[in-house]
Structure 1
Amino acid sequence: MMLARPALASDGAALQDLLARGPLSERTDRAPAHQGSVADVVWLVEDQPGGRVLATARLAAALGLDAPRFFYHVGCVVHAARELRLFHRQRTLFLSNDYTGASELCDVALETQDIALPEQARALNLLLQTLLLWIAEHRASYAHSLVLALPGVRDAGGGSPFWQGLGHHFYGGDPSQALSTEGRAWKGRVAPLMPRHPLYASFLPAAAQAAIAQPHSSARPLVDVLEHEGFRYGHHVDVVDAGPVLEAVPDDLRSIGTSLNVELVVADAVAAAEAVSHTVLATGAQPRALRLRAVLAAGRLLVGKEDAGHLGLASGARVRVTGRSQPPG
């Protein structure tokens, strides 16, 4: 069984280890989330019994308000001359702060060692749906835009073809070393050194052009889960490796738009023929979430006694639930 819950101080070492080995998104230098915070939360998925951490992610209410966050906006200009029968589209890169104030999914990491691919997908699905149900339950705490920055293409040596084609002309240092010594805030300091006028992507080397908006292969399982929910490429990329930024209007996402706040009803057993699969978020003093089979009808969710025990709830409690059955991944 997989259980999603907010991270505790005692989870710090396990989360740092997982983030070091399996990052799937932008990492931050933020301090650990404050216990009891609604807007800035870190959740994890663990295997039960055993407690092995399978996945984790952070949900931040707003990015770029304490320090500017920079991305390249990927645009298009057209050069045309009808009399010469010429029509050329050119991709452009323009340094921007377009996502200032948007809510962000970040610090996403997935355990892959000795975990089968279907189990990895299940963990990511439960994690993402839990976070989206959390947003739905606390909607006023989050913005009208939700983004996630994915890692970009790297070569065999771990270098970024995009950085080699563009960034290193304006900053001669090693990005990997700068990140390790100065942290992720280094991006905010180096980005203003980049050109402030639109750049034609065609001026870059072929490898740099090919890397634009391409996620690292390790992030493909996360991309599949996000796109299933309704996230789409937002025509912005990272300033170092050109990894794509996926974005969404939260209310348009599957797990938020169909979610319901309902009353829990506990039974000794639930008829298998009537039950369907839902992700259920307990929103009380000890938030947690499970993927389980239940019967949803007339503003009530009928669950079995065992599942209710895992949620730590009794009949009459309020829960947030995905509104229709969704594939577990």
Structure 2
Amino acid sequence: MQARLANPADRDALAAFHGQGFGPLPAEAARDGGAADVLLVLEDAQGVLAGYALLRSPSLAAHFRRGVSVRRVPLAGIDRKLATLTLCNDLCDAARLCALRVAGEGDPAAAAAAVLLGAVQETARREAARFGRRLYAALPGVQGADGDAVLWQALGRHFAAQGQAHLDGDAAALAELLPQHTLYAGFLPAPARAVLGVAGDACRDVQGWLHAAGWQASDYVDPFDGGPVLLWPDGGAGR
């Protein structure tokens, strides 16, 4: 298998491709063959489309950063560590891996993902002026039985009256509506606390692919669904 830049001739194959991974392919990317940002496609030995990855240059980004607030009063016997969530824009200088999908399952899918991720990372190295010094990927978080994100039901919906669909995944827009001060995670319902930094079932394999390619866990989570944010390379941010 080999990865290359997409071109207009890939349009139909991209539009019809269904593989496992994360992130939808924007309609304009499939139509223009990667004119927006950088769209890489993976071909098998017969020249058949076997996957794609979409890399977006740095832009305004908003995430929750998980932290700890210590409350210590020795004379009163108080010594507590409280988990916190703080809205931040720490990753505005990082390029985003918006989508990664490959055909197949198991080891073949992992091998295909490794080739694609290698091409993504090489592209970022080669065009450092465009993509910055690090990359990040925000994996979808845990959904409830009703199909809505568990964290959204506990937090986001109280501040975004228009609903999650209206925001169309725009984390920066959601951040403008959420409280700007530090939140104590302990105030969230237990199910919402439990999903912070946890990838949804459909993305557990993707998380493994990213780890195998050198991407590292961080203290950042998606403000919509609490999904984990992985960094490559780890420049120390969020750790």
- Deviations along 1:146-187, one digit per CA (max 9) or x if unpaired, are 111111111233211101111111123442x326xxx444x4
Which SS does the other structure have where 1:98 is aligned?
Answer: coil
| Deviation, structure 1 residue 131 | 1.5
Give the match for residue 100 of structure 1: 92
Map residues 220-259 of structure 1 onto 2, 5 A cutoff: 220-249=204-233
1:24 matched residue in structure 2: 22
Change (3 A) 1:3 1:87: same
SS in structure 2 of the partner of residue 32 of structure 1: helix
Give the Cα separation in 2 of the matches to 1:242 and 1:18: 28
Identity percentage of aligned residues: 30
After TM superposition, give the deviation of residue 240 of structure 1 in Å: 0.7
Q: RMSD of the alignment, in Å?
A: 2.8
Contact 2:216 2:233 (C-alpha < 8 Å) held by counterparts: no
Quick check: 1:129 aligned with 2:125? no
Match runs of 1:171-210 below 5 Å:
171-175=160-164, 177-178=165-166, 183-185=168-170, 187-210=171-194
Q: In the comparison of the two structures, how many residue pairs are matched?
A: 235
Stretches of 4+ moved more than 6 A in 1? 33-37
Residue 83 of structure 1 corresponds to: 75
Counterparts of 1:1-329 in structure 2, within 5 Å, are 2-18=1-17, 22-25=20-23, 31-32=28-29, 40-49=37-46, 51=48, 53-64=49-60, 69-111=61-103, 115-175=104-164, 177-178=165-166, 183-185=168-170, 187-249=171-233
Deviation at 1:28, TM superposition (A): 7.4
Unaligned residue ranges in structure 1 (runs of 5+): 253-329
Please report the TM-score for the alignment, with normalisation by the length of structure 2. Answer: 0.85
1:43 Cα deviation after fit: 0.6
CA distance in structure 2 between the partners assigned to 1:36 and 1:238 by the alignment? 25
Q: Output the TM-score relative to the length of structure 1.
A: 0.64
* Greater Rg by CA: 1
Deviations 1:172-204 (A, max 9, x none): 3442x326xxx444x433321110000000000
Indicate conservation of the 8 Å contact 2:25/2:54, yes or no.
Answer: no
Between the two structures, name the one with larger relative contact order (CA 8 Å, sep ≥ 6).
Answer: 2
Structure 2 stretches lacking a partner, 5+ long: none
**Alignment match, 1:314:** none
**One-letter amino acid of the structure 1 residue matched with residue 100 of structure 2:** V
The structure-2 alpha-carbon separation of the partners of 1:157 and 1:23, relative to structure 1 and needing over 3 Å to count, comes to: farther
Kindly provide the CA deviation profile for residues 278-304 of structure 1, in whole angstroms up to 9, marking residues without a partner as x. Answer: xxxxxxxxxxxxxxxxxxxxxxxxxxx
- More divergent stretch after superposition (101-110 vs 119-128): 101-110
In 1, the alpha carbon distance for the partners of 2:216 and 2:4 equals 27
